[in-house]
A and B are shown apart, each in its own frame.
Chain A
Amino acid sequence: MLKNQLITPEGTKDDLFEEASVCRRIAQRLCGLFEKRGFAEVVTPGLEFLDVFSVEGHSIPTEYMFKLTDPKGRLLVIRPDSTLPIARLCATRLKGELLPLRLYYNQAVYSSNPALRGRSDEVKQAGVELIGVQSKLADLEILSLALKSLEELGSPSFRLEIGHIGFFNILADSLCLDAAAREELRLLIEVKNYPAVGDILDRFSGRKEALILKQLPRLFGGEEVFRQASALIENSEAAPILSYLQQLYESLQKLGLGDQVSVDLGIVNRTDYYTGVVFKGYLEGYGEPILSGGRYDRLLASFGEEAPAIGFAVHIDAAARTLMREQEVRIPPAERLIFAEPGREMEAIHYLNELTSQGVKAELSLFSTWEESLEYAEKRGISRLEKPGLSSSGGKVQ
């Protein structure tokens, strides 16, 4: 036997029974929702040229993509993300289409994660992209769809958190930091390293922008954040952004979800990719965001087509894992087992067809005696054994 014949590569796994069906149900519910909201499905290839993903600010560094070459020696990658292929699609086959375009996808993405940290290298995602419109209404459409998607997962304790990439970009621009110092500051704000952010910004003693940036990682939570921030931010270049974010927040409140919407002004991930509102969705019981998205108005231009866009992706396996935690994984039993008497097999199959077309979940017994079939039905948890014409309770069927 070969060395690796019995195992799957690290970061991948087989989905059995309940796991597979929960994932599929979640994907179906999300896709159904996207369809009803007027989004159209696209499937992009599992293999793409590396060039498609060589975009500034892309979330997956080249070293973490699975690479191979085509017969001409060109570098290919196994799809690490769905948004960039969709941007490519919009700039080529969908060029000149009536805007806005509403697209959705439901496909896995692949990237190699540092070993032994419990991360998956294969992640099922469902997501949407709204292309061609930059407006408050477009932002609200996508934010409300993100909320609806979280609701659709079926867990009552979810949270959507919104922020805006403009705070950091505008404030950091005004301090004229060089690229290295700017990145250092960004990383420290991202990890909410309060003391180190303070140390860096104290060098700009008293500059208003530095004072705001210093507070940025602490400005997260509910409505009170706007009160705390407004005194600090008013009259600065970031003031219009704060008021825009507050408008979005207040509009979302009208959907009646209360404290299931929150804000974090200190979201600063992928500052060279996102251009406007950014958001993350959380489920209680899972240690990482389960949904993430934002506005990326410059991306399509790097494929030669100027168009604003906003979208998000839902991490389906993570949602499934959270929802099924502590549930036992087993084969869901059929409602009836159909015994095929030797010589009368086709009658049994005919009966099976009849039952399944009535919506009854039924399974064919492959044992040649009634007793063996009964034993199997008990072990499997199937409550009724039947043969065409007779059921186990002795009563006539039909």
Chain B
Amino acid sequence: MKPIRIALTKGRLEKDTTRLFEQMGLDCTELLQKGRKLILSIPNAGLEVVLAKAADVITYIENGVCDLGVVGKDTIMEYGGSFFEVMDLGFGRCRFALAGKKGADFYAGYGEKTIATKYPNVSRGFFKGKGMDIRVVRIEGSVELAPLLGLADGIVDIVETGTTLRENGLEVIEDVAPISARVIVNTVSMKLRKAEIEGLLHRMEQALDLKNKGE
């Protein structure tokens, strides 16, 4: 039988998911000592794990080369795509927010607003909902710099604690959307390997419930 191939987003989501897999009693030795290997196997469970950057997880799932993936809602909102989004894992929790200079009225005046962001689609979508035209500037590094340098009126970015914002004289103006880790599934795998995938999802759900009760 072909193993179920799982794509995990490298970094924090990978660690949280590995912990969840351990709670499910899976042998995660290869995941914990991965070295330079790109495809890791979980023995005796018929599972194979691939580590990838967030947006690549979506690409692999969409094209069906991986069956199941763990990715943040932020990536799903920005990149879209066609797949099933079946479970909210609850960890990796943070939010998208609109932030600007402390004390400044972002919505004041008739001038077009400029938003600096790593998430142009999320930003456009948010302001489209308000019927507002904005100019979006894509920034790859610290977006907080853009309003400080006068390039942008505000930023749309992921906010966890808000410390970076505070230390740079910025504040949250409005929440855009909550974010957490999601399980996504290829649409064809879900149908052709229903029993295996639903079984796995069920075990993940049980482990999550157990963990939540423990906390």
Contacts and interface: CB of A to CB of B under 8 A. Distances in A.
Interface of A: 117-118, 157, 159, 161, 191-196, 220-221, 262, 264, 282, 284-289
A262 B64 CA distance: 20
Contacts of B21: none
Given A286-B188, A287-B188, A289-B188, A193 B86 contact: yes
Q: From A157, A195, A286, name the one whose CB has the most chain B CB atoms within 10 angstroms.
A: A195
B48 interface: no
A286 B84 contact: no
A192 B84 CA distance: 5
Contacts of A287: 62-65, 186-189
Contacts of A220: 191, 194
Q: From A193, A262, A264, name the one whose CB has the most chain B CB atoms within 10 angstroms.
A: A193
10 contacts: A117-B81, A191-B85, A193-B85, A221-B194, A262-B191, A264-B191, A284-B192, A287-B62, A287-B188, A289-B188
A282 B62 CA distance: 14
A319 B10 CA distance: 33
Q: From B59, B189, B192, name the one whose CB has the most chain A CB atoms within 10 angstroms.
A: B192
Contact of B86 (A159, A192, A286): A192
B59 A118 contact: yes
A287 B69 CA distance: 14
A288 B192 contact: no
B62 A117 contact: yes
B84 A288 contact: no
Contacts of B192: 157, 159, 282, 284
Contacts of B81: 117
A382 B81 CA distance: 47
Contacts of A195: 87-88
Given A194-B86, A195-B87, A195-B88, A286 B59 contact: no
Nearest to B195: A221
B83 interface: yes
Nearest to B184: A191
A285 B67 CA distance: 11
Q: From A117, A157, A159, name the one whose CB has the most chain B CB atoms within 10 angstroms.
A: A117
Given A191-B85, A192-B84, A194-B87, A282 B188 contact: yes
A287 to B, nearest CB: 2
A195 B89 CA distance: 10
A192 B190 contact: yes
Return the 8 tightest CB-CB contacts between A and B, nearest first: A287-B64, A192-B84, A193-B85, A195-B88, A191-B85, A287-B63, A282-B188, A192-B86
B138 to A, nearest CB: 15
Contacts of A284: 192
B86 A288 contact: no
A118 B85 contact: no
Interface of B, helix, strand, loop or mixed by DSSP:
mixed
Interface residues of B, number: 22
Contacts of A221: 194
Nearest to A195: B88
A118 B191 CA distance: 22
Contacts of B83: 191
Interface string B85-111: 111100000000000000000000000
Nearest to B81: A117
Nearest to B185: A192
B188 A288 contact: yes
A284 B85 CA distance: 21
A195 B84 CA distance: 12
A121 to B, nearest CB: 16
A265 to B, nearest CB: 13
Contacts of B191: 159, 161, 220, 262, 264, 282
Contacts of A264: 191
A29 to B, nearest CB: 22
Given A220-B191, A288-B187, 7 more contacts: A161-B191, A192-B84, A192-B85, A287-B62, A287-B186, A287-B189, A288-B82
Contacts of A288: 64, 82, 187-188
A368 B63 CA distance: 50
Contact of A286 (B64, B185, B194): B64
Nearest to A283: B188
A221 B198 CA distance: 11
B88 A118 contact: no
A287 B187 CA distance: 7
A220 B197 CA distance: 13
A193 B62 CA distance: 16
Nearest to A193: B85
A157 B193 CA distance: 12
A22 B86 CA distance: 37
B58 to A, nearest CB: 9
Nearest to B63: A287
A286 B62 CA distance: 10
B211 to A, nearest CB: 16
B72 to A, nearest CB: 15
Contacts of B189: 287
A226 to B, nearest CB: 15
Contacts of A262: 191
Nearest to B194: A221
Contacts of B64: 285-288
A217 to B, nearest CB: 8
Contacts of A157: 192
A118 B63 contact: yes
A191 B85 CA distance: 6
